[in-house]
């Protein structure tokens, strides 16, 4: 596993990437954000909870700077074990990014329950926006359950094809009514598909391209938000129990 360039003293943060609509770019965002975090010096683990295993397949050649673990939540009964394991992993990684499946599932519920930040990628198409609205209902449930430890929830516009929609009314008009803050968008860039084929992150496969630039903007925005909430995260959290992590990252 590649070592981070510089050690980090920051407390661990869990970032879940989910949407009930398939193909909105969850895995693309989760993989590349995890790699941007790893390259910036955070010891980062990307957890794939999706039976489709997109993130695992992306990392199987061992060419991603982030560690990748195929770690699904088998069923509702296994959720407790999964959450305990995650607590252990938080002792070893500064950032854990969770790629969630596009279905209402124990993985989705567990991810929303444990995340410090939930990123909901969506295009601005009506179909995606409707699914995003449904996703946010599940997020609202998690918020209610968590009360004092509510996550930061952010909508991420993805796969944008028209340049002019940057910062103009298009994104805001479609996604603003969802009522959650918007992240800087990820444009459509075929280099993401090529990066998947090459088993590399966008910063290796197409360094300096628009996809890479957008991922770096996303990375900066999410890190700034996690930093700003540092007081919030300083609340006591349950300590991971002593033990050995079961999950063995690949790559």
Ligand X SMILES: Nc1ncnc2c1ncn2[C@@H]1O[C@H](COP(=O)(O)OP(=O)(O)OP(=O)(O)O)[C@@H](O)[C@H]1O
Residues near ligand X, by CB under 6 A: 22-28, 50, 52, 54, 102, 158-159, 186, 188-190, 192-193, 196
Q: Which among 163, 124, 119, 165 is positioned nearest to 27, based on CA atoms?
A: 119
Site string for Mg ion, 54-93 (x = CB under 5 A): x---------------------------------------
Residue 87 CB neighbours (<10 A): 17
Which partner in ligand X, Mg ion, none is near 188 (CB below 5 to 8 A by kind)?
A: ligand X
Which partner in ligand X, Mg ion, none is near 200 (CB below 5 to 8 A by kind)?
A: none
Instruction: For 69, list phi and psi in degrees, rounded to 5.
Output: -130, 130
Considering only residues 196 to 235 of the shown chain, the ones binding Mg ion according to CB under 5 A are: none
Which DSSP state fits 250? B
Is the Cβ of residue 215 or residue 245 nearer to ligand X in the bound state? 215
| Order of strands across the sheet that contains 117-122 | 67-70, 44-48, 95-99, 13-17, 117-122, 152-157
Which listed residue (19, 24, 27, 174) binds Mg ion by CB under 5 A?
27
Smallest gap, in angstroms, from Cβ of residue 25 to ligand X?
A: 3
Residue whose beta carbon is closest to Mg ion: 27
- Residue owning tokens 């700077």: 65
Smallest gap, in angstroms, from Cβ of residue 35 to Mg ion?
A: 15
Which partner in ligand X, Mg ion, none is near 192 (CB below 5 to 8 A by kind)?
A: ligand X
**Separation CA 132–CA 138 (nearest Å):** 10
Smallest gap, in angstroms, from Cβ of residue 104 to Mg ion?
A: 15
Which partner in Mg ion, ligand X, none is near 193 (CB below 5 to 8 A by kind)?
A: ligand X
Q: In sequence order, what E strands does 101-224 have?
A: 117-122, 152-157
Smallest gap, in angstroms, from Cβ of residue 33 to ligand X?
A: 11
Residues 10 and 42 sit within 8 Å (Cβ to Cβ): yes
Which listed residue (13, 15, 24, 26) binds Mg ion by CB under 5 A?
26
- Kindly provide the b/e burial profile for residues 24-39, where b requires at least 16 CB atoms within 10 angstroms of the residue's own CB: bbbbbbbbbbbbbbbb
- β-pair partners for 70: 48
How many chain residues interact with Mg ion (CB under 5 A)?
3
In the complex, which residues of this chain contact Mg ion (CB under 5 A)?
Answer: 26-27, 54
């Amino acid at each position: 596993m590649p070592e981070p360039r510089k050690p980090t003293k920051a407390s661990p943060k869990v970032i879940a990437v989910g949407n009930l609509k398939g193909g909105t770019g969850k895995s693309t965002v989760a993989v590349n954000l995890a790699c941007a975090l790893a390259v910036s010096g955070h010891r980062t683990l990307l957890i794939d909870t999706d039976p489709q295993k997109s993130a695992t397949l992306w990392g199987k050649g061992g060419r991603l700077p982030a560690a990748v673990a195929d770690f699904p939540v088998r069923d509702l009964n296994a959720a407790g074990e999964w959450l305990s394991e995650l607590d252990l992993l938080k002792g070893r990684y500064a950032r854990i990014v969770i790629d969630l499946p596009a279905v209402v599932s124990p993985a989705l519920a567990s991810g929303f329950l444990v995340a410090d930040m939930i990123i909901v990628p969506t295009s601005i198409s009506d179909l995606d926006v409707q699914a995003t609205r449904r996703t946010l209902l599940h997020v609202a449930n998690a918020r209610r359950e968590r009360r004092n430890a509510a996550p930061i929830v952010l909508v991420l516009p993805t796969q944008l094809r028209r340049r002019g929609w940057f910062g103009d009314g298009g994104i805001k008009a479609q996604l603003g009514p969802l009522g959650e803050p918007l992240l800087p968008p990820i444009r459509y860039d075929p280099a993401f598909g090529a990066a998947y084929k090459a088993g590399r992150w966008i910063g290796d496969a197409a360094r300096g391209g628009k996809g890479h630039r957008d991922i770096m903007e996303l990375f900066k925005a999410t890190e700034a938000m996690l930093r700003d909430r540092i007081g919030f995260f300083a609340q006591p959290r349950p300590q991971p129990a002593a033990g050995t992590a079961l999950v063995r990252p690949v790559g």
